[in-house]
Structure 1
């Protein structure tokens, strides 16, 4: 586990963007799963502002680790946020954008998306392998859309699962733990003081931390990087 701690959310976004562009070098094609949330939003802004014409976006294929079951025009949509902050500002082929169809039946879409991942990517022991999975973490220790009350979805047979938000009841489609842990690289983007308690629990493996889905992120490649701001890292030893 590689911990990278920066001053604030903006510096996290800038440093992560540099890391990502470095990952893309010398790659024929690159398949990555995006995350929603406030930190990725700033990352997308940095990529659009600083790297729009410095990266060959033709070789980058974009997916999502999870998506809310809403239409792509809805403000809740992770896809919509990515279009507004990144895709509308860079030259990326439409064929390289593989969105989760949040407006479709969640069960059907989980099956379709799992099949898409199988077709588009190399597999390791039948599990599709991303070059990079970007993850956030909620105040409750959830990651992707695997929440503590449904932690069993982490080990689901299917590559994609239908999850339910514990408070709103909103349905979401999410990749499962096997897909996350099969990725060549996994990067957490976690910022803000509200995350500090769970960051401490997950990173330092404190008692009871295994109840948090984020604690189950352990890629078999060994390549796990945490990008934290000082507020999120404030309780680390």
Structure 2
């Protein structure tokens, strides 16, 4: 894995945005799975402010690694956040935005979205392959919407699963571990002091760390990059890049 450590959340967002735009060069089409959360929100702001007119957004297809089962007008919706901070500010064709329909029945929607991925993406041994999957990580070590208490969903047969938030009971639709690990590139965006303990456990592979779904991210391509701020990386013996 490649660890990139920056001063704060803003610098992480700026450096990742540069990295993403670099990835888009010389690509005819690019399929990316987005994440929700506070750091992606800043990333979307940076992309909109700095790259709105500098990128051919018509070649980028946007998906989500997970979505809360709420309507697209709900403040909890990852889709709504992305529209407000990115899509409303760039010239991206409507047909390039492939949202998880959080307002629909979760089980049916997981099946529909898995089918959509199969149709739209190249497949490696039957598993849809993204060019890039962007992941966050929770304080509990969850990633996408695979939580520790449902870690078996990681290896689910279906490409998309219905997960349940351990505290709120909210249903979520999420891609599974096979889809994550089949991606050509996987990037973690992790910031804040509350993440430092889990970052240390997962990066250093301490005893018991395999109970955290984020520890299972190990793309077949070998292309795994962590974008961390100094707070999240505080327990690592690493020098900032």
Instruction: Return the TM-score normalized by structure 2.
Output: 0.98
* d(CA) in 1 for partners of 2:66, 2:45: 20
* d(CA) in 1 for partners of 2:101, 2:195: 29
Q: Spell out structure 1 runs of 4+ moving beyond 3 A.
A: none
Q: Secondary structure at the match of 2:130?
A: coil
- Match of 1:216? 216
- Match of 1:25? 25
* d(CA) in 2 for partners of 1:106, 1:132: 24
- Match of 1:79? 79
* d(CA) in 1 for partners of 2:57, 2:192: 30
Q: Secondary structure at the match of 2:168?
A: coil
- Match of 2:184? 184
Q: Does 1:233 align with 2:233?
A: yes
How big is the alpha-carbon RMSD for the aligned residues of Structure 1 and Structure 2? 0.2
The Cα shift of 1:154 comes to 0.1
- Match of 1:143? 143
- Match of 1:56? 56
The Cα shift of 1:36 comes to 0.1
* d(CA) in 2 for partners of 1:107, 1:219: 26
Aligned length: 237
- 1:1-237 aligned at under 5 Å gives the runs 1-237=1-237
* d(CA) in 2 for partners of 1:92, 1:145: 26
* d(CA) in 1 for partners of 2:177, 2:129: 12
Q: Secondary structure at the match of 1:107?
A: helix
* d(CA) in 2 for partners of 1:209, 1:236: 15
* d(CA) in 1 for partners of 2:177, 2:202: 15
Deviations 1:18-45 (A, max 9, x none): 0000000000000000000000000000
Segments of 5+ residues of structure 1 without an aligned counterpart are none
* d(CA) in 1 for partners of 2:205, 2:115: 34
Q: Secondary structure at the match of 1:168?
A: coil
* d(CA) in 2 for partners of 1:118, 1:42: 30
Q: Secondary structure at the match of 1:83?
A: helix
* d(CA) in 2 for partners of 1:236, 1:44: 28
* d(CA) in 1 for partners of 2:172, 2:194: 23
Segments of 5+ residues of structure 2 without an aligned counterpart are none
Q: Secondary structure at the match of 2:3?
A: strand
Deviations 1:94-137 (A, max 9, x none): 00000000000000000000000000000000000000000000
* d(CA) in 1 for partners of 2:69, 2:198: 26
* d(CA) in 2 for partners of 1:214, 1:98: 24
The Cα shift of 1:83 comes to 0.1
